[in-house]
Every structure is written in structure tokens, then in C-alpha cells.
Amino acid sequence: MEPDQVRRAYDTAAGAYVRVVPTPAIEAPLDLAMIDAFAAEVTAGDDPAVLDAGCGAGRMSRYLADRGCRVRGVDLSPGMLAFARRDHPDLEFTVGSLAALPYPDACFAGVLLWYSTIHTPPAGQARLFAEAARVLRPGGHLLVGFHVGEGVRDLAEVYRRLGHEVRLERYRYTADQVAAHFGPAGLREMGRLVRAPRPTERDEQAMLLARREGVAAR
């Protein structure tokens, strides 16, 4: 999908989204365990600066901050960020694109891509991981979560049930397809979790943890 279409969809449905997905409590315990592992890697260093890339209304930004990370959030949707700033006024949120992150090189110890790559078609995926790697310090960590499978799911009916007419599509990828973007971006896979869908989910879910190649500065 084009970024402007994604932005419009989330701006339109921001209030409904926040009501349905208000906190990290919706996440599966296994998923949160992967985020905890990511946070532990990040906070082991001197400066646990983390970018929540595609942060939406900031529920995972809060989760990471509560675990000792110094979090910034970036998202395409000003509507979603309005809720993030309302609910998490102590954190910093910026409007921006995952394909052109508004941050200098090597400024974060961690980047979280939590279901934020799912609206980008295959041709645009490599760019997202290249940008995430660019803003990571050598030795920094990336965690990406996504829906497993092939093809595209139309989400219009989901949002119609929430009272909004929007155009929004979700792309599904295998874990190997996502991991294939790591090497060219200078990332090395550290581990992965692929789990069966819960009763409320249609697809398997995957989380991949990667490390930026190079030696961290001392």
C-alpha cells in the first residue's frame, strides 16, 4: 500500500483502534517474552535508547519504557500519535516514515518493528530493514513482529465492524523471507519465534531478533 493510504486509514480509525487495543495486555505471553529478551539486550548497555518504529498509540513504547529503555516513537499517523502523546506524555513521539527515518545514523541501541512492516508490499521491505539498521549502533538489536503466511489480507471489514470505512491491506511473509533482508542490511539473526495463532487470530505470528554487525563503541 502507498504510505498516504496507510496514514489516512489510521488517522480515520485511531480512536477505535485505541479502544480495541489499549495496552500490551492484548499481546500473547510468548510475544511479550521476545520483547522482554529484546529489552534485556538493549538495557545491558550504557545508553538504552530505543526507537519504537511504527509506534501507533504508544502501547509498546510504554512497555519498553517500563523495562528501562529510553524510548522514542515514530509513526506515519498524526491521529495515532495524538493518542500516544495524550497517554504517554513523558515519551517523545515524531511523525515520520519507516522508509526514511528522521534520525541520524547509529543513534539507537534498539529498534522495535512491532507489526509495523505489515502494510508494506514485498518491493518495499528491504528499504525498511536498511533504515532500521542505519539508525542502529553497531552491536544494537532489532526485533520485528509480523503475521506469517503468503499474500494479502483485506482489512476493510475489520474496520467496518468498528464503524469506519477505510482501505487497509496487510501483507504476510514467512520468517525466512523476512530474515533474508537482514544480511544485506548488515544485521545478523539471533533468534526467532514462530507460534500458532490464538483463537482470535487468523495467522501464525513470528518475532525475529537480530543484531547490527560491528563492534559497539566503548
The span from the CA of 136 to the CA of 2, in Å, is 26
pLDDT digits 0-9 by tens, 84-124? 999 999 999 999 999 999 999 999 999 999 999 999 999 99
Nearest to 63 by CA among 95, 99, 34: 34
- Least confident range of 19-33, 56-70, 92-106, 182-196: 19-33
Helices and strands (H and E) in the chain: how many: 7, 9
Average pLDDT over the chain reads 93
What pLDDT, on the 0 to 100 scale, is given for residue 216? 59
**Region of residue 168 (phi > 0: left; psi between -120 and 50: alpha; otherwise: beta):** beta
**Structural domains of the chain sorted by starting position, each given as residue range(s) with its CATH number in brackets:** 3-212 (3.40.50.150)
The arithmetic mean of pLDDT across residues 194-211, rounded, is: 96
Q: What is the pTM of this model?
A: 0.94
What pLDDT, on the 0 to 100 scale, is given for residue 27? 93
pLDDT at 218 over 50: no
Contact at 8 Å (CB) between 131 and 96? Answer: no
